[in-house]
């Protein structure tokens, strides 16, 4: 049996409550005890959140704006105190929260490096040893000798990131900080992030970039309105998060639920039929445990892949054309339905996809009772391997985006190849050597 690693961060029953006042005078009257009646309303930024993060684990935290992601990170790092509950941290933390927090705008860059290093707990000698690495990573030249108040936002962010990332912490806390600076600096940041993972550092990562969450994280925690909605594999939690985004995830009535859904719950909810049916569907390349949701005003009734010979298949030969087909039945009038597909790898990273709105292929209203067959034909230049196909019918009703029907990871697609290049797809280069 594999031994579980020690816990680096323990969060138990953490709550953060803010008092909201209609008028500033109410705050003063309540503080001075001039009223017996409470003049405030309670707002829970976090409510009963539990999580354990083990040493060497990379855990992502996702959720909509206002879900409590940044709040939980600030509590873990000690920037905020919880209203209730307890947080235990075993290891030295470097936090990339609000980049540059703690910088003195009157000091120059080097003075701020020493200021921040000492705040984290480093001695002057230790910072001396790291200074050149920090300056090389920031790469802002002689501006390090100028007051940071004269910096552009890009230079400010580069120096702040360089300080936080180069002090070799045991625990790295990252809040939306890997998309700063220009594209070359971003690449350098991600490379450093990968180095931290390889070194076995503990990483807590908050981001709206779901591809990065899927790529780097071992486990994902999903927050919604201050409540821990669930935790599990990146793929399962990202799919559930997408339901939350479009208001298609049904929350339980019991407010005492601290964790409302796990991988097992999602799979149980998504599965259908008995064992025999599942085996038959797998043989046809259909996922028997697919995740689906939507208002069902339109319904994807049938879907399949066709090779360039017109044969239904789940295997496509690289270098040939192939077609994704779906049959959609409309139960109600839809003003302008959008038909879409997405191809993901088995880790859940979206590789490619498109829809009829992007392609300007169909922008018409559809009446109840109509049936539409949609086909997307393209050239297969993905590398050989296994992929998952997702399908969707969505649309705008007024200004509101509506999901009629989505099927996540509904079909398995095998790409057969006798030549694989580097990365996700083959550039199909024409090579000449003279």
- C-alpha 148/C-alpha 241 separation (Å) is 39
Q: Are residues 316 and 211 in the same domain?
A: no
Residue 164 belongs to a domain with what CATH number? 3.40.50.300
Model pLDDT, residue 256? 46
Q: Are residues 184 and 323 in the same domain?
A: no
- C-alpha 288/C-alpha 277 separation (Å) is 8
Residue 330 belongs to a domain with what CATH number? 2.70.50.60
Assess if residue 247 is contained within a domain: no
State pLDDT tens for residues 309-363.
898 988 898 999 999 999 999 999 999 999 999 999 887 888 999 999 999 998 8
State pLDDT tens for residues 363-400.
899 999 999 999 999 999 999 888 999 999 999 998 88
Q: Are residues 204 and 344 in the same domain?
A: no
State pLDDT tens for residues 216-235.
889 999 999 899 999 999 88
Length of the chain: 434
Instruction: Determine the Cα angle at 150 with ends 147 and 155, to 5°.
Output: 95
Domain closes at, from 234, 268, 302: 234
**244: exposed, middle or buried (Cβ count in 10 Å: 0-12, 13-18, 19+):** buried
Residue owning tokens 């550039």? 427
Assess if residue 284 is contained within a domain: no
Maximum CA pair distance of the chain? 90
Q: Which domain holds residue 25?
A: 7-234
Q: Residue 349, Cβ neighbours under 10 Å: how many?
A: 18
Asked if residues 171 and 202 have their Cβ atoms less than 8 Å apart, the reply is: yes
Q: Are residues 230 and 295 in the same domain?
A: no
Q: Residue 109, Cβ neighbours under 10 Å: how many?
A: 25
Inter-CA distances, 378 with 267, 305, 316, 385, 430, Å: 31, 12, 11, 18, 20
Assess if residue 2 is contained within a domain: no
DSSP state of 425: B
- Report the domain count for the chain: 2
Assess if residue 242 is contained within a domain: no
pLDDT, tens digit only, all 434 positions of the chain: 456 788 999 999 999 998 888 777 777 777 777 777 777 788 899 999 999 999 999 999 999 888 999 899 989 988 899 999 999 999 888 777 665 566 888 999 999 899 888 877 788 888 899 899 999 988 888 999 999 889 887 788 788 888 877 877 888 888 876 565 666 777 777 788 788 888 888 999 888 878 778 878 899 999 998 999 999 998 888 888 888 877 766 665 544 444 455 544 444 444 444 455 455 555 556 776 778 889 999 999 999 999 998 989 888 989 999 999 999 999 999 999 999 999 998 878 889 999 999 999 988 999 999 999 999 999 999 998 889 999 999 999 988 899 999 999 899 999 988 888 888 888 888 999 99
Element (H, E) at 124: helix 124-138
Tell me if residue 169 falls in helix, strand or coil.
coil
Model pLDDT, residue 61? 94
Inter-CA distances, 418 with 284, 351, 430, Å: 24, 20, 17
Domain closes at, from 201, 234, 267: 234
Q: Are residues 20 and 140 in the same domain?
A: yes
**427: exposed, middle or buried (Cβ count in 10 Å: 0-12, 13-18, 19+):** exposed
Tell me if residue 350 falls in helix, strand or coil.
strand
Model pLDDT, residue 287? 74
Q: Where are the beta strands (DSSP E) in 225-314?
A: 227-232, 261-262, 291-293, 298-307, 312-313
Q: Are residues 48 and 196 in the same domain?
A: yes
**301: exposed, middle or buried (Cβ count in 10 Å: 0-12, 13-18, 19+):** exposed
Assess if residue 268 is contained within a domain: no
Q: Are residues 126 and 202 in the same domain?
A: yes
Q: Are residues 63 and 190 in the same domain?
A: yes
Full 3-state SS string of 190-244: HHHHHHHHHCCCEEEEECCCHHHHHHHCCEEEEEECCEEEEEECHHHHHHHHHHH
Q: Is the pTM of this model over 0.85?
A: no
75: left (phi over 0), alpha (psi -120 to 50) or beta: alpha
Model pLDDT, residue 24? 79
Domain closes at, from 186, 203, 234: 234
Residue owning tokens 């919604």? 224
Q: Are residues 71 and 188 in the same domain?
A: yes
Strand partners, 352: 343
Assess if residue 72 is contained within a domain: yes
Assess if residue 18 is contained within a domain: yes
Assess if residue 155 is contained within a domain: yes
Q: Are residues 213 and 359 in the same domain?
A: no
15: left (phi over 0), alpha (psi -120 to 50) or beta: beta
Model pLDDT, residue 271? 43
Asked if residues 41 and 19 have their Cβ atoms less than 8 Å apart, the reply is: yes
Residue 287 corresponds to which tokens in the numbers above? 């996922």
């Amino acid at each position: 049996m594999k031994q579980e690693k020690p816990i680096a961060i323990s969060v138990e029953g953490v709550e953060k409550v803010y008092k909201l006042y209609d008028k500033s005078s109410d705050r003063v009257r309540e503080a001075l005890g001039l009223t017996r009646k409470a003049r405030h309303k309670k707002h829970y930024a976090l409510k009963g959140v539990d999580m354990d993060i083990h040493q060497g684990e990379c855990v992502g935290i996702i959720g909509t704006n206002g879900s409590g992601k940044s709040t939980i990170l600030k509590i873990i790092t000690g920037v905020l105190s919880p209203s209730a509950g307890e947080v235990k941290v075993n290891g030295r933390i470097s936090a990339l929260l609000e980049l540059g927090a703690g910088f003195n705008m009157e000091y120059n860059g080097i003075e701020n490096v020493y200021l921040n290093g000492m705040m984290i707990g480093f001695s002057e000698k230790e910072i001396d040893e790291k200074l050149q690495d920090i300056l090389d990573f920031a790469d802002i030249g002689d501006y390090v000798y100028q007051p940071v108040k004269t910096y552009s936002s890009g230079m400010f962010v580069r120096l702040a990131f360089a300080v936080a990332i180069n002090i070799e912490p045991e625990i790295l806390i990252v809040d939306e900080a890997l998309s700063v600076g220009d594209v070359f600096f971003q690449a350098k940041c991600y490379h450093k992030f990968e180095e931290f993972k390889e070194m076995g550092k503990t990483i807590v990562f908050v981001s709206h970039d779901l591809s990065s969450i899927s790529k780097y994280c071992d486990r994902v925690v999903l927050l919604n309105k201050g409540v821990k909605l669930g935790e599990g594999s990146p793929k399962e939690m990202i799919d559930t998060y997408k339901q939350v985004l479009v208001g298609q995830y049904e929350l339980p009535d019991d407010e005492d639920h601290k964790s409302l859904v796990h991988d097992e719950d999602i799979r149980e909810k998504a599965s259908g039929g008995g064992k025999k049916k599942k085996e038959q569907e797998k043989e046809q390349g259909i996922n028997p445990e697919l995740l689906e949701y939507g208002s069902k005003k339109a319904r994807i009734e049938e879907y399949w892949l066709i090779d360039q010979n017109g044969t239904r298949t789940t295997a496509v030969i690289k270098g040939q054309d192939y077609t994704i087909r779906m049959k959609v039945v409309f139960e109600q009038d839809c003003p302008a339905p959008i038909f879409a597909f997405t191809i993901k790898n088995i880790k859940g990273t979206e590789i490619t996809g498109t829809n009829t709105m992007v392609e300007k292929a169909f922008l018409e209203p559809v009446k109840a009772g109509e049936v539409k067959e949609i086909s997307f034909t393209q050239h297969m230049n993905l590398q050989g391997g296994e992929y998952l196909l997702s399908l969707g019918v969505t649309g705008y009703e007024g200004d509101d985006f509506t999901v009629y029907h989505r099927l996540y990871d509904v079909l398995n697609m095998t790409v057969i190849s006798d030549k694989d290049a580097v990365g996700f797809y083959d550039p199909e280069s024409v090579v000449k050597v003279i």
